[in-house]
Structure 1
Amino acid sequence: MRKSIDTRDVGPGARSGAGGTSHAERVFRVQSAFAKLGGPSHGPGELAKVAGLDDSAVHRILQSGVYQGIFERVGRGRYQLGLAAAQLGFQALAQGLEGNAGQAVLQELRATTDGGLAFLYMLAPFGGAQRQCIDMAVGDSDLNELGMTPRDVLSVTRSLRAGASGRTILAYLSESIQARVIAEPVPAQAGPGVYRDDARLIASLAEVRDQGFAIGQQECMAGWNSCAAPIMWDDSIMGAVLLLKPMSVMPRAPQDVVEATRTAASKLSRLLSSPWPSELGEPAPE
């Protein structure tokens, strides 16, 4: 069963008191409602129902958010998340991983797995549901062995349809987003172990949620196996840690590799959760 997003307690400083919620939490609830509902746009009524707020409060938040760029009005009574929402998320990511903290976690993962290649993937801010590698720890390894240059790894967004890190992120997204990704063609550069059967792919997503990690068998490229674990902010998926090793060295990820990958993902999740974005100002009066 999919774990629901609990917006009643969203982090330090979110509550204004035992009997009510702050404006920052109400804004966060509305943003979370968009993520939970999926789809291109929504009205205040359906957002209010998911967010657990009054229709009038959601309407005021949407009106103010349009002015601030957090939301966009796309039709009469219909809204979608704006570009500023993605910018806020990546600003929080940058704050959470400042001081090379993320690189330190990846280096530790590499050391504890005897030279595995460690990658940090996050949901891309633009271009639909895709992932983007923002950091890595590969030692002296030649990335040309993987069929890609460092620039490719760091700058190119990749489909969530393939790879242990892609499936890990996809497993925690809404069913509507999952359906759109699954409808995409399998990437031409995917490895021989990629999930080509949609039913098998969907079943694997449930396994990822149940186990808290994904095992990849030559999914992204021939000759390489992997293990990935989710990076979460509250109950929302932000990305995944990927540990990659040659198939000849790691025919299947042993338990110590799985635990090391999950530990790295947990540390990165805590790093992301430690800062709390400044509260947005109260909505301007109508």
Structure 2
Amino acid sequence: MASAASPSAPGTPARTQRTPGRARKPRQAADGTPAAAPRTSGSGHAERVFLVQTAFAELGGYAHGPGEIAEFTGLDDSVVYRILQSGIYQRIFERVDRGLYRLRTSAAQLAFTALDHRLDGDITQTVLRRLREATDGGLAFLYMVAPFSGAQRQCVDMAVGDSDLAELGMTPRDVLSVTRSLRTGASGRTILAYLPQVLQQRVLAEPVPDQAGPGVYRDNDALLASLAEVRDLGHALGYEECMAGWNSCAAPIIWDGSIMGSALLLKPKSVMPQPPEGVVEATKEAAAELSRRGAARPSADGA
């Protein structure tokens, strides 16, 4: 996923309209450096349409006006306005208030179509069972970004043998309130580390779940520092973050440059006070395999 420029307050509609001719601020890449200016040659119109679509995702928030999008993309106000109006008829954008627009839910259908056939249950079970065997009976989980919330996660598969929630000391309610948060656990922080800044800020604004474990990050500065470490090391270690008595290791699952989820290995603290190198490497290999399996493949004719 592409990172956005410095975010505004999450969920706050931006209503400021820019007057024609006003100097535009350059777009910024994830590291804060100016991004490349939009190309204007060749298929220039198509590229401008894609820039406007991408702006909604990178800016975050509820809705945006043509002036704000023009400021972000470097396009003229009139060009942005025409693209938005055309997109309304094409069911890509919708006007939610006077001068404010957002992506229609039909955009989600494109995402679901893009994800179709990327992974199946047989593949994920094979990878997770292999991870469980490589870690002497660790509990292996596959977490993915929740499709109806860009800042949460959900468990979509697991290899836990005969274990159940009671063994973990958790109820179904705990699972919904604790493990869906990206603030808690190695798997949550692993996903959070690779999300755009606008979504990171949204998560940081959320309270820590009441049922979280004693090792959860409660200070946002410490949490942000841990995200940088995840990106540097390529994995996260969790010490009683989601629940007391359990430690974990997680690694990112990335498809086509976008974070999609994480592979998690969980073991009792009494058995694994510190995840050994073998556990770390096995978890990273499982995540790498799921990343390879889900990555886009060129067609048979090389197109």
Report the TM-score range of the alignment, normalised by the length of the smaller protein: 0.7 to 0.9
Aligned to 1:162: 184
1:261 lines up with 2:287 in the alignment: no
Structure 2: gaps of 5 or more residues: 1-28, 299-303
Distance 1:97 1:49 in 2: 38
Aligned to 1:106: 128
Check whether the contact 1:39–1:177 (CA below 8 A) recurs between aligned residues. no
- Which residue, 246, 256, 263 being the options, matches 1:241? 263
Check whether the contact 1:96–1:275 (CA below 8 A) recurs between aligned residues. no
1:208 lines up with 2:193 in the alignment: no
TM-score scaled by structure 2?
Answer: 0.72
Q: Per-residue displacement from partner, 1:106-141 (whole Å, max 9, x unpaired)?
A: 222222222211111111122452111111111222
Aligned to 1:38: 60
Amino acid corresponding to residue 141 of structure 1 in structure 2: S
> Taking structure 1 as reference, are residues 192 and 139 closer, same or farther at Cα in structure 2, changes over 3 Å only?
same
Check whether the contact 1:92–1:272 (CA below 8 A) recurs between aligned residues. no
1:115 lines up with 2:137 in the alignment: yes
Check whether the contact 1:92–1:275 (CA below 8 A) recurs between aligned residues. no
Check whether the contact 1:70–1:82 (CA below 8 A) recurs between aligned residues. yes
Aligned to 1:184: 206
Q: Per-residue displacement from partner, 1:214-240 (whole Å, max 9, x unpaired)?
A: 110000001111111112222222221
Moved more, 72-81 or 103-112: 72-81
TM-superposed deviation, 1:172: 1.6
> Taking structure 1 as reference, are residues 33 and 152 closer, same or farther at Cα in structure 2, changes over 3 Å only?
same
Amino acid corresponding to residue 194 of structure 2 in structure 1: Y
Distance 1:57 1:268 in 2: 41
Aligned to 1:224: 246
SS of equivalent residue, structure 1 residue 96:
coil
SS of equivalent residue, structure 1 residue 269:
helix
Check whether the contact 1:124–1:157 (CA below 8 A) recurs between aligned residues. no
TM-score scaled by structure 1?
Answer: 0.76
Distance 2:146 2:229 in 1: 24
Amino acid corresponding to residue 239 of structure 1 in structure 2: G
Distance 1:253 1:229 in 2: 13
Distance 1:194 1:209 in 2: 19
SS of equivalent residue, structure 1 residue 129:
coil
1:198 lines up with 2:204 in the alignment: no
> Taking structure 1 as reference, are residues 275 and 31 closer, same or farther at Cα in structure 2, changes over 3 Å only?
farther
SS of equivalent residue, structure 2 residue 252:
strand
Check whether the contact 1:133–1:154 (CA below 8 A) recurs between aligned residues. no
Aligned to 1:174: 196
- Which residue, 127, 149, 156 being the options, matches 1:134? 156
TM-superposed deviation, 1:92: 3.1
Amino acid corresponding to residue 172 of structure 1 in structure 2: Y
Structure ID, larger Rg: 2
Q: Per-residue displacement from partner, 1:58-107 (whole Å, max 9, x unpaired)?
A: 65664455455544333344333332333433443341013622222222
Check whether the contact 2:179–2:185 (CA below 8 A) recurs between aligned residues. no
RMSD: 3.6
Check whether the contact 2:184–2:217 (CA below 8 A) recurs between aligned residues. yes
> Taking structure 1 as reference, are residues 199 and 232 closer, same or farther at Cα in structure 2, changes over 3 Å only?
same
Distance 2:291 2:82 in 1: 32
Aligned to 2:166: 144
Q: Percent identity?
A: 68
Q: Per-residue displacement from partner, 1:163-213 (whole Å, max 9, x unpaired)?
A: 111111111222232222112111011101000112111111111122221
Aligned to 2:11: none
| Count of residue pairs the alignment pairs up | 266
Q: Comparing both chains, which one has the higher relative contact order based on Cα–Cα distances under 8 Å and sequence gaps of 6 or more?
A: 1
